[in-house]
Structure 1
Amino acid sequence: MSTAKKQIHLAAHFPGVNSTTIWSDPASGSQIDFSSFEHFAATAERGKLDFLFLAEGLRLREHKGEIHDLDVVGRPDTLTVLAAVAAITEHLGVVGTINTTFNEPFELARQLASLELVSGGRSGWNIVTSNDAFTGENFRRGGFLGNPDRYTRAAEFVDVATALWQGAGVEHHGEFFDVVGPLSVPVSPQGKPVILQAGVSDEGRDLAARYADAIFSPFADLAKGREFYADIQERLARFGRAPDSLKILPGASFVLGDTEREATERYDYERRAQVSAATAIRTVEAVWGRDLSEYDPDGPLPSIDLVVDEDITAGRAKTHRDSRGTAQQWLDRAEAEGLTLREAVITQQSRGVLVGTPEQVADRIDEFVQTEASDGFILVPSITPSGLDEFVDKVIPLLQERGSFRTDYEGATLRENLFAH
């Protein structure tokens, strides 16, 4: 007797706030014009994807005291863009990252409840926390919260928002918030927005297992994905939740080719295009903590003796805590593999990428889902706004033919579509 295949869930991350975007490619379009969001959303809905995802930066990143011009500068507000996208789509979910550290639960609950209404129950909220005092300077509370406090604040934040979304009066007096409801917005078609969470620390995993409907995970490696999947299942049981009550969706970019060789060659081009000479130097400067503009990006990495462990990049989470230790690891790998400065950065910044023919990429996605390494993927194209087109045209039909991906939307709300299978 055959067993029905586990269904794949796919979403799309509008690129830009990451190191994946290839700004220099002739096909690259605007990160700001609404026509880009419109094209991207139309493609995602044509492919029957679950939702469109937007990241958010609350302050422009700075490097050596100046605006970091290799990143998005001036992207419109997330909730405003999502409301506009909801107006031009019928089934596609609209999900945005909104910070719990620098917002207030009553105001955000009202904004998300409004997005729920105008979208017909297709909204989602990606919960993130921040310990970035540079960002906090622009908010009333400002300052800095360490890990335990920011996750405690996040949990209380979600508890308050959830109570408000239920439509009853709220009389909350907690460690971080004093809130008296109710909201002035009716209960939405799906009850409350779908909740996503993206942190993978121990505290982040517990927060997800307690509250989230989906996790935006970084584990696009099969073995690590299975380990993470199993860990989350154990945590779900600890919080009294069913195994199928949370979807795990790693972020992954993709590179397609008519042959495996063509895909590999295209991948090599994209990796170099993503890390320009200027990007390479600034990335190394952030680790070494000093100006290195006189160094050749196609030459060797600077000596470990030059590391001063200063924060010269602000507005973005540090990817390392031990600057000298990180620099030494980079130097050791560069020496062992004969890498230049730029090649070392390319190697260090490599993330989960699905590379191959459409058939090979479809095989890989199906393997992840059928062997419980994930429930699908959040796709991160390298080109805006047309980078998703090829995937929808070439890979989605193959997944549909295999019976692992929907041929049409099952429900009217994002939650119904996310949990249809």
Structure 2
Amino acid sequence: MDAVTLASLLIVVLFLVLGTGTWIALALGIVAYSGMVIAVSAPPGQVLATSVWGAATSWDLTALPMFIWMGEILYRTRLSQDMFSGLAPWMRALPGRLLHVNVVGCTIFAAVSGSSAATCATIGRISLPELKKRGYDERLAIGTLAGGGTLGLLIPPSLIMIVYGAATEQSIARLFIAGVVPGIIVAGLFMAYVGGWALLNPGRMPEREPKMLLRERLVAGWRLIPVILLILGVIGSIYGGFASATEAAVVGVALSLVMSRAMGTLDWASFRDGLLGATRTSCMIAFILAGAAFLTTAMGFTGIPRALAEWIGAMNLSPWQLLLALTLFYMVLGCFLDGISMVVLTTAVIMPLVQAAGFDLIWFGIYIVIVVEMAQITPPVGFNLYVLQGMTGRSIFRIGLYALPFFLILAVVVALLAIFPDLALWLPRTMLEAG
């Protein structure tokens, strides 16, 4: 059996297994085992043991549970309430007014969370009731939250960047730095859309609230100090070269515990719930990564990645045609899988093609994160849509429709990133040269 036929067969097996509701980690392991039995004489059990052990002992992944724990701690503090109260007075002068709180709040919280779903849930539970009470358009309120929540993947620290960096052996700190400028661009375009919509639909905006004095806005702005200090502590330690991503994650956890204690929200119950929540999420991701490691090793034995690279190379696709094909591929895949699963599932096959096309792997990491962001608001498996469904009671597909403009904005950013790769590469290159 040739490699392309074997790859097609294994893809069919994968979707059949996933269709039964089997856990993704087990599905990856089943596909890897099937490939080994069909095409390779090496013992699958030994390959499974060595590949899973290698994945489990990767030092880069140490940062993953720490950042997850930090997000769990902050989820149980008054951080989100303070952010809304601190941001709202400064957003009132902009077209779209308090709708911008969703985007800016998600951008800020993304810098201390690393999770799209956590960002969406934390900001949404405060902002949605407030916006509804004040008469803001529900569709745009939900749409801005769905789109803004995706910034949890792009603004560092990002869980998916850690997974990608570990899978491709790229510097996680450089990936974090590379995500800053694209993240700011995405947030800026989201805010531009909100402002344009508000100017074109003045009748659907609520009455303006009384103006606040500058002194009152400054007093409210003081509530942002804790989160700003946390961002400086985590991200500043990485950018300043004082800490690796793993060490910065530990700094973040320590600062989060101190902050929550100072706010009076750290007790034994919240500490235990945060630790258990982080453990569950970390174990889920580690299990997926273990299955993906076995699949990656098995694919290497079967020769499928090399054969597919040669097959696609024979099609004489230009780098941009390949990038377009990969974008469409990930958009379709995002309808069925979550972001981390998408990355770990495809790395073994995609990376040889990307390297052969001459794409920088740091740049490609940012590209894939933005495409995964699009998947976060794509029915029927978009995680942000599930979060918002639980908050609003609206159907997944209706929320997906509300999020459509932000999906299209992310598609525009993917195009800009392809045309101007320095949007992702300029900052890490500059900091490397300066260091």
Pairwise same-fold verdict (TM > 0.5): no
Q: Per residue, is there more strand in 1 or in 2?
A: 1
Q: Per residue, is there more helix in 1 or in 2?
A: 2
TM-score (norm 2): 0.23
